[in-house]
């Protein structure tokens, strides 16, 4: 059986694509149609034979049981790797003012946000939680590493520098700053930045912020997008780990299926 790669709170194609392109893994994206940004633009490919999208509210009742039941029903293996893009709205350092009122309205706000961020701990496999600079480092633990999108610009093909959806907002080759924490657990590997290329990135914050004011679904979607280079770096650092865990099962299952996919 092919290994399953599970993506939590994922409504775009970028994190999933490298794993699909390899042809070795089944990918499962979990997001909720009624969330504040889901489905706005480029979803993971629902028609791909190795991609499954689960419309599950991860803030709802017993979401882990719902995921496990769905995987079993669809004949998919338990996850071999989990990547979570837990909501940062209530944890972000920049949200202090609005959070004060939210805490008055809901004293359990931070506890609930932490529960979402740590859902990965329900699976005994390598996992990575991605979150911008936030209270998660205090409420949970310090991240394994902080990164910026430009660290991984070298992994974007030279003829695909422009962003496929928002070239007027997201700089070419993801050459921008956005300090992001990665919590790597159970043997998950940190993505490797370029050690031979530029060691200093662009000056200032992400220039697209000036075009992303307000709280529209479009704005939230763009802010949530996984940088393409980071997505590839996570794949390159952790796919070998999954292959090692599975031994020869990945290759054997591909040979048995004798399927050819054209990307």
Domains of the chain: 4-257 (3.40.50)
C-alpha 50 chain-centroid distance: 18
DSSP 155-177: GS-GGG-S-SS-TTTSPGGG-S-
Which residue blocks in the chain are alpha helix, DSSP H? 17-22, 63-73, 96-105, 109-117, 136-139, 217-224, 228-246, 249-257
> Would you say 57 and 9 are in contact if contact means Cβ atoms under 8 Å apart?
no
3-class DSSP state of 84: strand
Residues found in the chain: 263
Q: Which residues of 244-257 are buried (b: 16+ CB within 10 A; e: fewer)?
A: eebeeebeeeeeee
Q: What angle do CA 26, 164, 188 make, to 5 degrees?
A: 40
> Would you say 128 and 83 are in contact if contact means Cβ atoms under 8 Å apart?
yes
For residue 28, with 0-12 CB atoms within 10 Å meaning exposed, 13-18 middle and 19 or more buried, which class applies?
buried
Q: What is the pLDDT of residue 254?
A: 47
Query: Rounded to two decimals, what is the model's pTM?
Result: 0.87
Closest CA to 143 of 86, 70, 225, 220: 86
Per-residue pLDDT of the chain (263 residues), as tens digits, is 899 999 999 988 899 999 999 999 999 999 887 655 445 555 666 668 899 999 999 998 899 999 999 999 999 999 999 999 998 777 766 655 677 777 788 888 888 889 999 999 999 999 999 998 888 999 999 999 999 999 999 999 999 999 999 999 999 999 999 999 999 999 999 999 888 888 888 988 777 766 776 677 788 788 888 999 999 999 999 999 999 887 645 555 544 444 433 32
DSSP 154: G
Q: What is the pLDDT of residue 87?
A: 85
β-strands 79-84, 26-31 pairing? unpaired
C-alpha 197 chain-centroid distance: 25
> Would you say 258 and 93 are in contact if contact means Cβ atoms under 8 Å apart?
no
Other CB atoms within 10 A of residue 207 CB: 14
**Any residues with CB less than 8 A from the CB of 81 and at least 6 apart, and which?**
3, 5, 6, 125, 126, 127, 188, 238, 241, 242
3-class DSSP state of 143: coil
> Would you say 99 and 90 are in contact if contact means Cβ atoms under 8 Å apart?
yes
Q: What is the pLDDT of residue 259?
A: 41
**Any residues with CB less than 8 A from the CB of 150 and at least 6 apart, and which?**
173, 174, 175, 176, 177, 201, 202
């Amino acid at each position: 059986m092919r290994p399953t790669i599970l993506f939590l709170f994922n409504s775009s194609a970028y994190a999933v694509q490298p794993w699909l392109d390899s042809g070795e893994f089944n990918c499962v994206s979990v997001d909720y149609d009624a969330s504040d940004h889901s489905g706005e633009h480029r979803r993971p490919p629902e028609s791909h034979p190795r991609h499954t999208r689960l419309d599950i509210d991860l803030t709802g009742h017993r979401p882990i049981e719902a995921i496990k039941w769905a995987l079993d029903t669809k004949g998919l293996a338990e996850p071999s790797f989990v990547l979570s893009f837990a909501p940062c709205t209530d944890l972000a350092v920049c949200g202090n003012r609005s959070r004060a009122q939210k805490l008055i309205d809901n004293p359990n706000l931070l506890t609930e946000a932490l529960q979402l961020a740590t859902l990965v701990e329900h699976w005994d496999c390598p996992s990575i939680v991605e979150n911008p600079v936030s209270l998660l480092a205090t409420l949970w633990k310090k991240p394994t590493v902080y990164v910026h999108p430009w660290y991984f610009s070298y992994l974007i093909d030279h003829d695909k520098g422009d962003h496929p959806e928002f070239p007027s907002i997201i700089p070419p080759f993801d050459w921008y700053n956005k300090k992001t924490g990665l919590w790597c657990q159970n043997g998950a590997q940190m993505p490797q930045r370029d050690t031979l290329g530029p060691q200093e990135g662009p000056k200032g914050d992400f220039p697209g912020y000036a075009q992303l004011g307000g709280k529209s679904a479009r704005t939230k979607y763009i802010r949530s997008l996984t940088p393409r280079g980071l997505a590839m770096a996570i794949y390159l650092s952790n796919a070998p780990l999954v292959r090692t865990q599975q031994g020869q099962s990945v290759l054997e299952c591909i040979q048995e299926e004798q399927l050819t996919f054209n990307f």
